[in-house]
Amino acid sequence: MISEKLKPLMANNSVIRAMFEEGTKMREKYGKDNVYDFSLGNPNVPVPPQVNEAMIRLLQKSEPDIHAYMNNAGFPEVREIVANSINKDHGTNFDKGNIIMTCGAAGGINVALNVIMNPGDEVLIFVPFFLEYIWHVNNVDGKIIRVKTDKNFMPDLEDFESKITDKTRVLLLNSPNNPTGVVYPAEVIAAISEILTKKQKEFNRTMFILSDEPYRELAYEGTVVPYVTKYYPNTIVAYSFSKTLSLPGERIGYLVIPSEMEEAQLVFDTASNANRILGFINAPSLIQKVIGECIDAKVDVEYYDRNRLALYNMITELGFECIKPTGAFYLFMKSPMEDDKAFVELAKKYRLLLVSGAAFGSPGYVRLAYCVSYETILNAKESFQKLAEETL
């Protein structure tokens, strides 16, 4: 017997993960180089060499606290390094008292929602969105309210304002966006902030932006990703090094809780305790220390940019429709078939693994992750050609 609350989770297990598992079976059958897997956002770019070097160096030094418990918010010196890095990049004024090290952005999101949500509170999310947000919100017995976007996947601000009620607690924001690759510009963030500020007064209720930013550094063509705390004080930022350092399995990230937030110290202290009682205890000690030594390291964004252009140009030249992404490492392509799930199934015939847009709340589209090898994209052209011939 399993929890009634988790039964729907098992009944609708992650479509993305299921596709990944199917890809493993196909590779065993057809060979690794003959399967073109665009399903999972698992970075293919190597970890920057200084990261591995720092791991080895830290282990060889064998400092007394390298594997020890620490303050639930993380090592103070690492939090100070993270704060200074953000300040340098974004002109903010944070210190270690604004940073909580977390088990990736997902761990941070769950900590934040547990701190600021009550059962029945509403979380607004622009569609399409990352499927697992549903479960993060369900974990705190909240309710997701879906907000429209336009044909370019930019927020529909009228719909956004109309969806805010006296039960609204959070706008869960994701830019650069998974699955669309869209970056919300400064004027959109400013407009969102203005609406929320007005609605806080109207309903006499504190409302937060929870900004999920694992793709912040993956922006192209000079695109600027606005730092949301500079526009709206009641913002919590959830960040992950999974993509920017190719470390998804290490589960390391942080929360930013700005001092300008209402009851900021109480929120910070509660989040530190939530880190413990939710079972994370603290972010992994070794990788925290590594981040402290490698805060300026970044993966090769040009690698992703080359992939982005190669895949976008390929599929559009074949006749598929897609908004050109300016961030993250995803393309959100319009399905040429009315049933996007049927289109995904048909793509398997040509050993192409795509993910249905229905998994992101947007039927009629499919997501392609281009964090693969450049050769995979080039070698997939014939399969995409055959798929186009059959569907367009």
Residue-level pLDDT at 14: 61
Rounded-to-integer distance, Cα 101 and Cα 30, Å: 42
SS3 content of the chain, % helix, strand, coil (to 5): 45, 15, 40
Residue-level pLDDT at 351: 95
Q: Count CA within 13 A, CB hemisphere, residue 363.
A: 5
Residue-level pLDDT at 85: 97
Residue-level pLDDT at 15: 63
pLDDT at 27 over 90: no
Q: Among 228, 305, 242, 259, which residue's Cα sits nearest to residue 95?
A: 259
CATH architecture for residues 7-47+299-391: Alpha-Beta Complex (3.90)
**97 pLDDT tier (thresholds 50, 70, 90):** very high
Residue-level pLDDT at 180: 98
Residue-level pLDDT at 17: 64
Q: Is the pTM of this model over 0.75?
A: yes
By the 10 Å C-beta count (0-12 exposed, 13-18 middle, 19+ buried), 391 is classed as: middle
DSSP-derived pairing of the beta strands 235-240 and 253-256: antiparallel
Mean pLDDT of 265-288: 96
Residue-level pLDDT at 285: 96
The DSSP symbol for 70 reads: -
* Type of residue at 41: G
By the 10 Å C-beta count (0-12 exposed, 13-18 middle, 19+ buried), 25 is classed as: exposed
**237 pLDDT tier (thresholds 50, 70, 90):** very high
Q: Residue 204: how many CB atoms within 10 A of its CB?
A: 7
Q: What is the dihedral of CA 210, 213, 216, 219, to 10 degrees?
A: -90
pLDDT at 247 over 90: yes
Task: Give the position of tokens 């470390």.
Answer: 247
**99 pLDDT tier (thresholds 50, 70, 90):** very high
Residue-level pLDDT at 22: 77
For 369-381, what is each residue's pLDDT tens digit?
Answer: 999 999 999 999 9
For 309-330, what is each residue's pLDDT tens digit?
Answer: 999 999 999 999 999 999 999 9
Residues counted in the chain: 392
Mean pLDDT of 203-222: 97
What angle, rounded to 10 degrees, do the helices at 15-30 and 340-348 form?
20
Residue-level pLDDT at 225: 98
- The per-residue DSSP string of 30-56 comes to H-GGG-EE-------SPPPHHHHHHHH
pLDDT at 147 over 90: yes
What are the domain boundaries of the chain?
A: 7-47+299-391, 49-293
Compute CA distances 147 → 112, 139, 328, 359, whole Å. Answer: 21, 21, 21, 16
Residue-level pLDDT at 320: 98
Residue-level pLDDT at 10: 66
- Check residues 12 and 98 and name the one with the higher pLDDT: 98
For the domain spanning 49-293, the CATH number is: 3.40.640.10
Q: Residue 126: how many CB atoms within 10 A of its CB?
A: 26
3-state secondary structure of 231: coil
* Type of residue at 384: F
Q: Count CA within 13 A, CB hemisphere, residue 381.
A: 13
Given a contact cutoff of 8 angstroms between Cβ atoms, the answer to whether 101 and 252 are in contact is yes
- The per-residue DSSP string of 333-369 comes to EEPSSS-HHHHHHHHHTTTEE-EEGGGGT-TTEEEEE
Q: Residue 265: how many CB atoms within 10 A of its CB?
A: 11
What angle, rounded to 10 degrees, do the helices at 104-116 and 264-277 form?
120
pLDDT, averaged across the chain: 94
**4 pLDDT tier (thresholds 50, 70, 90):** confident
